Amino acid sequence: MTVSDIEVTAIIPVFNDRLALEQAIPQSIKALSNLSKNFELIIAEDGSTDGSAEFVRQYQQKDPRIHLLHNDERLGRGRALNQAINQAAGSIVCYYDVDLATDMQHLPELISAIRDGYDVATGSRLLPGSDIKRTGGREVASRTYNLLVRIILGSSVNDHQCGFKAFNKQRIQSIIPTIKSNHWFWDTELLVRCQRYRCKLKEFPVHWRAGKGTTVKLKDIFEMGTSILRLWWQIHVS
C-alpha cells in the first residue's frame, strides 16, 4: 500500500499515556480494519516522559500502518494535532482521545459521515440519545461552557469539546492555519471556524465514559472562558 492509497488517517494525541496506549492501539487497529482496507494510525506523542514514544516504536516495527509523530518538547495538544493532520495521508482524517472515552462502536458513523459528503463530523455528549457518565460538577461545567460558546460565538454545535471528530482533509486544510489555540480550546476553535467557512457539519450522540483521573479545575474553567472571549475578539475585531 502506498501513501496515495490511504483513505483514512486516525490520530490519537498522547501525552504521558503509556498505559492507555496498551488498549488504544490494538482496539484502534481492530476498529479501523473493519472500516477500511487502506488506513494509517498516527500517534501524535507530545513530549511524553513515561515511555510512550518507545512503546509506539515497538508497535511500529510489527505494523507499518502505525506511525509515531514524536516531539521532544511539548507543543500542546492543539499544535500536535495540527502537525498530525498536516502529515496525514488519508483523504478522511479523524482523531479521538487515547482513553477511548467515546465508545469505538461510533467510529463507523464518524467515518461514514465524511464519506457521505459532510466536511466535519463530531460526536456529542449533549444531544438527546447520548449516554454519558461523569460527575455532576463536570456535567454542569460542560453545559455552561458549551452554552457560552453558542451564545458568544454563534455556534450551532451542542458539544464542542468531545474528542471524537473527523474531517474531509482537503476541505479543512485552509482552515487549520487560522487556528490560534495550542491546547484544549483547539477543538472548539476548529468547530467555530469551520462553521464560519460554511463547512457541512454533522453532530451525533455517543456513548461516553469519563476517563480515569480527569478533573475540572477552577483554572481550566477560567482559561476556557478567556479563550471564548479571545476568539470572539479575533473574529470580530482583529
Residue 172: which of 69, 38, 42, 82 has the closest Cα?
A: 82
Amino acid 133: pLDDT: 86
Cβ atoms of 166 and 112 closer than 8 Å: no
pLDDT tens string 156-177: 999 999 999 999 999 999 999 9
User: In terms of pLDDT, which residue wins out, 134 or 234?
Assistant: 234
Q: What are phi and psi of 50, to 5 degrees?
A: -110, 15
Q: What are phi and psi of 2, to 5 degrees?
A: -95, 170
187 is catalytic: yes
Active-site residue, selected from the candidate residues 46, 99, 119, 187 = 187
Strands in 8-14's sheet, in edge-to-edge order, are: 66-71, 39-46, 8-14, 92-96, 164-168, 120-124, 201-205
pTM of the model: 0.94
Q: What is the mean pLDDT of the chain?
A: 92
Q: Please, what is the angle between helix 77-87 and helix 186-196, to 10°?
A: 50
DSSP 83-107: HHHHH---SEEEEE-TT--B-GGGH
pLDDT tens string 168-225: 999 999 999 999 998 889 999 999 999 999 999 999 999 999 876 555 555 666 788 8
Other Cβ atoms within 10 Å of 12 Cβ, number: 25
Domain range summary for the chain, segments of one domain joined by +: 3-236
Distance in angstroms (rounded) separating the CA atoms of residues 43 and 98: 9
Distance in angstroms (rounded) separating the CA atoms of residues 113 and 111: 5
CATH number of 3-236: 3.90.550.10
Cβ atoms of 70 and 35 closer than 8 Å: no
The one-character DSSP state at 176 is G
Residue 215: which of 141, 161, 138, 144 has the closest Cα?
A: 138
pLDDT tens string 68-100: 999 998 989 999 999 999 999 999 999 999 999
Residue 61 has pLDDT above 70, yes or no: yes
pLDDT tens string 95-133: 999 999 999 999 999 999 999 999 999 999 999 999 988
